[in-house]
Amino acid sequence: MAATPLAPTARAVRTVAFVEGVRTPFGKAGDKGIYANTRADDLVVKVIRELLRRHPELPPERVDDVAIAATTQTGDQGLTIGRTAALLAGLPRSVPGYAIDRMCAGAMTAVTTVAGGIGFGAYDIAIAGGVEHMGRHPMGEGVDPNPRIVADRLVDPSALVMGQTAENLHDRFPAITKRRADEYAAQSQERYADAVKAGKIGPELVPVAIRSELGWGLATEDEPPRPGTTVETLANLKTPFRPHGRVTAGNAAGLNDGATGAILADEETARELGLPVAMRMVGYSFAGVDPEVMGVGPVPATEKLLKRTGLSIDDIGLFEINEAFAVQVLAFLDHFGIDQTDPRVNPWGGAIACGHPLASSGVRLMTQLSRQFAEHPEVRYGITTMCIGLGMGGTVIWENPAYDGSDK
């Protein structure tokens, strides 16, 4: 007689801790960018090695998986980059790895995916991050969209051009004028510059050896920022996606290269090993929207998550919103009744200043939020959120372990 299988035992969901995140300086894509002669996988290797260097209390063999995102998974961003980068970084061969893609939210999805494994008990510790070398691999390189997507009008052709989706968002929300977008962009540049001067941005950066026609050098700071940007200088920029449009190179993120990575762990395991706990994950959510206005995606993703967690937008004390386009951030803020100059929103500037290497950006948001939490024990909850190509949004809510109960 065959044995009766045992019923699975119920298990408690474990608390997921964000230990630390790091990133390379972000570069401008193209032949003149700092990473023109640097491989994408080497950027990831640098990030993984830095995480291990900063945390000698973490035995490398205790890493249960390595999830690395890339939007264009080919060439030096292909070959299951999570596994190959883990091998190149010197992790034991027993440590597996994989690649993941959700366009701009790749690193965010790498984090939420390994977090699910940690919460379920499949992992204790994992590394998650992302890379994009847009100089070597422009968005859309080598893709072959099914012709029915456009021919059968499943989506408007503009959905495949991110700048056009931003113009569509301006159309949908006429109160978000070009002037407002430029004001927000200038604010992002100013806040980023102030954060660098104050030493708030810099400690998370991993120096990268680079090579150019001048020889070898060291990348130690972000290349894209334009300090001193004013609304007046932005007003005269061309609108490449539409004649007399509202989206310009000044109120949108550029084309960039860079990599990010973070250590995620079960909180109990982290404390046993002596790893710091910078944030606790409260929950995450992804949502779909019309691809033609993909920039509005963070709104339903956030609403969905607030409902699931029982929180309200008033419970959130800090916001890290990816600045793919100024209009996209403003659509989120207007929806929730938040002023565009609110100091809780991107207090250290954002992607309009420092850059947006697509699949890597989610962990940049998380890394900055974790560092802001340490400065603000009066804040209990924070959000990282971003729009995603093809009509999606993603949001993660985090809890501050340093919260002292004095405010939110």
* Residue 155 located in a structural domain: no
Q: Which of 104, 133, 137, 354 is catalytic?
A: 104
Q: CA–CA separation, 207 vs 362, rounded Å?
A: 20
State both tokens at 90: 């010197």
Enumerate the H helices of 236-385 as residue ranges.
267-273, 298-309, 326-335, 351-354, 361-375
State both tokens at 47: 């990030």
260 close to 85: Cβ distance less than 8 angstroms: no
- Average pLDDT of the segment spanning 93-115: 98
Q: CA–CA separation, 348 vs 368, rounded Å?
A: 8
CATH number, domain of 366, equals: 3.40.47.10
* Residue 383 located in a structural domain: yes
Looking at residue 149, its pLDDT comes to 85
* Residue 150 located in a structural domain: no
CB atoms within 10 A of CB 62: 15
Give 377's strand partners. none
Q: Which of 137, 170, 354, 387 is catalytic?
A: 387
111 close to 171: Cβ distance less than 8 angstroms: no
Confidence (pTM): 0.95
- Average pLDDT of the segment spanning 135-162: 87
Q: CA–CA separation, 10 vs 121, rounded Å?
A: 12
Residue range 365-392, pLDDT digits in tens: 999 999 999 999 999 999 999 999 999 9
Looking at residue 131, its pLDDT comes to 98
Q: What percent of the chain has pLDDT over 70?
A: 97
Looking at residue 267, its pLDDT comes to 98
Tokens 């299988």 identify what position? 5
* Residue 143 located in a structural domain: no
Q: CA–CA separation, 294 vs 156, rounded Å?
A: 12
Whether pLDDT at 67 is above 60 = yes
Q: Is 356 a catalytic residue?
A: yes
Q: Is 104 a catalytic residue?
A: yes
Tokens 């052709």 identify what position? 157
Residue range 248-296, pLDDT digits in tens: 999 999 999 999 999 999 999 999 999 999 999 999 999 999 999 999 9
Residues 6+ apart with CB under 8 A from 101: 69, 70, 71, 73, 359
Q: What is the DSSP letter of 10?
A: P
**What number of helices (H) and strands (E) belong to the chain?**
12, 12
- Average pLDDT of the segment spanning 225-252: 97
Q: Which of 133, 170, 356, 376 is catalytic?
A: 356
Q: CA–CA separation, 166 vs 242, rounded Å?
A: 11
Q: State the average pLDDT for the chain.
A: 95
Domain that includes residue 129, residue range? 16-133+253-398
* Residue 91 located in a structural domain: yes
User: In the chain, how many domains are there?
Assistant: 1
